[in-house]
Amino acid sequence: MSAQTLHTLLFGTNGEHSLRILRNRPRQAAAAAASALILALTTLTVPAAQADAAAPPSAVLDSGTRSVSWQSPVYAKGTVGSPDKCGTAAEDPDNAVCARFDLTVHPPAGQWDDNPEGGVPVSIQWQTPTDDFDMYIYDADGKQVASSAGTADPEATVIPKASGTYQVVVVPYDVHNNSFTGTAYLPEPTDAGNLTGFSGSHGTYEIAAGALKARADFFTDDTMRLQASPDGVLADPPNSHMIRKQPAPQRHTSAFDAGLYYGIRSKGVVLRVYKKPLEFALYKADNRTVIWAEADPLRWTAGGMRQSLKRGATEQFFGGGEQNGSFSHRDQLMNVGNNTNWNEGGYNNSQPFYISSAGYGVFRNTMTPGTYDFGSPVRTGQQERRLDAYYFTGDTKSVIGKYTSLVGKPFMPPVYGLEPGDSDCYLHNANRGERHTLDALKVADGYVQNQMPLGWMLVNDGYGCGYENLPQTGAGLNKDHAQLGLWTQNGLPDQAAEAKAGVRVRKLDVAWVGNGYGMALDACDQAKAGIEDNSDARGFVWLPVSWAGAQRCGVLWSGDQKLSWDYIRWQIPTYAGATLSGIAYNTGDVGSIYSHDPEMYARDLQWKAFLPAIMTMDGWASDITTKKPHDQQPWLDGEPYTSINRKYLQLKERLLPYMYTLSKDATKTGVGAVRPLSLEYPDDPKTLGPDATYEFMSGSDFLVAPVYSDTDVRNGIYLPKGTWTDYWTGKTYQGPTTVNGYHAPLDTLPLFVKGGSIVPMWPKGTTSWETRDKHELDYDIYPKGTTDYTLYEDDGVTRKFATGSSATQHVRVQAPTHGKAPTTIKVGASAGDYQGKPASRAYRFSVHATGVPKQVVLGGSRLPRLDSAKAFAAAESGWYTDPATGVTQIRTPAVSTDHGFTVTLRR
């Protein structure tokens, strides 16, 4: 086979991301870090064995032979650095370079019908378990169907619904006089039998069905934990740090015998424990309204257990953490587990948690992969022979709150973390030539010169790109109002010294956290603590692979993608859907990492300005047309792109008071800023339809409908019930309605504001939280009935907020529903204190309402009416109504923050 053919098979469009990290890092680093980098490989393909190739060892699984094992040669040392170096079976007949095994599967009829493991489990166990190797499995056409690439031992994976012949390839990267034993088997399921034991009280109940032992624990927040094991052992996952705080036990429970079942009555629910066979069902307190009910008994095999639930006629399912390209999962198969497929269909930041519109959510307390089939019936399971599930009841927002109370609420970011970030390798970057770490300061200067916000910079790359002059770099960035950040390949040995030099941001990469599960969670906690233990700052951490609980410590980043219009499209439901698992900060590179196009970059940046966290990756991209290197700072494409990018970055900066308040809310509720429409409008079925899939809510006030194709027209914008105002034109729409033919030239993001919204903003022209005018605060107001808003403020950078150093300000707007009653804006005193809080400030209100007021009154005094926008801009106080838009602008003189006031618009 030619090298070109092999290259196409390995790096074709379906597997493009597989070796990006290796191929695009500096060459000096690639060789040294190959064994670590290869952890990211997930979609490699190799050709099927040639007809004349030497036959590798083989075996058949069928009804007569349900398990097989095989032994590898002894490898004195690591052989090759990647699977494409294995060669063919003919070139390596003794398996001296890579170990091959041909496995033929003839499954008995019905083998994969409701099988907990869903396929043939394959595992590799080395005699010395510390050595490093990866396993890949290909079908007869050379397509990869399964893999296990990490540092776990044994390495294990499953061939989904296996039937036919497969080649198992094991690549020994770093071994030392070692060999392995491979095993594969056809899993045989067993079902729970009849109830044989039931006892308990005070919130804990023991249940048995022969050898199967189960336990139900009830908690005061209407959470229930159900554990079951055919081995009779009920315990937490080993070395698990997912759960931060167990909910308080519910002691006041009672049990009763209803004949067909035992009932356990807690505060808000009743658990039915059916006797013949053992099955579970959860009801509301009336014991008549079902929340969920098992369709079949628990079923298990040697390596998996599943629960089967009846599905409601219109029941919807959400969650699963980051599921690239989707947020609603009815009739879908959802995977959770370690994964580094960065593109649509990947699930690298997945979580073993889902929510049902029937009024419950489930967290599987596990660190094993799982498959959740939301067909009818619903079948969910993990690759372990136990069930350990927390069931939360309530509406979607309350379920998110209870789940995040268990595994950790979203962290409170520093205010600069909500500003744009920039990332590059400056020292030893083979893609851009030799530079120095201090060269990062020139880029930071560029942001200032182009009047574009910049909150932080990552100035190195762990893959061979180190750093120098770190304290000077940190000090220089601070002068440009940016914070210093570093990313790391495989550890944090110098946290104290680096924090002293000014490091306030960390990015963790796949060579360290690529195993996901507990390793990623521990690394995230460690990186956050490293900043906080060595400074008074809040830890701000990014990572691309994680597990349940990572929302408490990090921004989850969807990894290395290649630019396309599809790239923009599928990210929209991805980040909105992640919020439904309590992930408040989920994002992707602006314009992707490896390719650049001015138009796609501008379109991507527009809508990502309404995500809390965004980052541009520089130093790896090439122009999508010329294929020449192209850095990605937002001014480099020239006009009109520079002005368009500046417009949205400055708008993002102005909206920081709004986004910062949403971040604080998330620390209490678990609900982040970026939301699918269904979260805010759960009773509207059209929010689950195709028109609503590629739009989202930013908070509860902004509806964002990104343009994700090469067009200046956006069709299919769904607006739910209510009044919606076009942010740019002031045109209003009455929902529910679908807007087609929306004119969206390159500088226009389709953006709508809900009637009744009260949006705090920093003054126009703000480019940094540090240089903003603290003595002015703006409110953008869309009057509709009576609405309220509470602004949150603190010093933005330290952890003093955790001990109460903060302030809130309540605003109420009352608008007439008919007649000529006045519109009033009641601004309360700023309650609380923090370092840097202004003693007084002026306010500017933009009131989006038709008609010109006769008077505008502040307290008991009339504000002067001004006759033009120019006069209004020059005045210290007064008001002006734009005749073209009907928007009334009001500016007050400075008002003490210790006192409230009222502005009245009389008509």
pLDDT tens profile 140-163: 999 989 888 665 667 888 999 999
Q: Is the pLDDT of residue 47 over 80?
A: no
Model confidence band, residue 254 (pLDDT cutoffs 50, 70, 90): very high
DSSP 8-state code for residue 324: T
More confident of the two residues 514 and 583: 583
Strand, coil or helix: what is 579?
Answer: helix
pTM: 0.91
* Strands lying side by side in the sheet with 586-587: 586-587, 555-557, 541-543, 503-508, 483-488, 456-458, 421-423, 615-617
DSSP 8-state code for residue 710: S
Q: Is the pLDDT of residue 4 over 70?
A: no
Cα end-to-end span (Å), the chain: 82
- Among the listed ranges 240-244, 430-434, 467-471, 866-870, which one has the minimum average pLDDT value? 430-434
Mean pLDDT of the residues in the chain: 91
Contact 16, 346 (CB under 8 A): no
Give per-residue pLDDT as tens, 495-512.
999 999 999 999 998 888
759 vs 768: CA distance, rounded Å: 19
Nearest Cα to Cα of residue 672 among 706, 696, 648, 655: 696
- What local confidence, expressed as pLDDT, does residue 150 receive? 61
Neighbours of 479 (CB within 10 A): 11
- What local confidence, expressed as pLDDT, does residue 152 receive? 61
Q: Is the pLDDT of residue 17 over 50?
A: no
What is the pLDDT averaged over residues 705-713? 97
Nearest Cα to Cα of residue 822 among 844, 845, 788, 855: 855
More confident of the two residues 195 and 19: 195
- What local confidence, expressed as pLDDT, does residue 512 receive? 84
Percent residues over pLDDT 70 in the chain: 93
Contact 502, 471 (CB under 8 A): yes
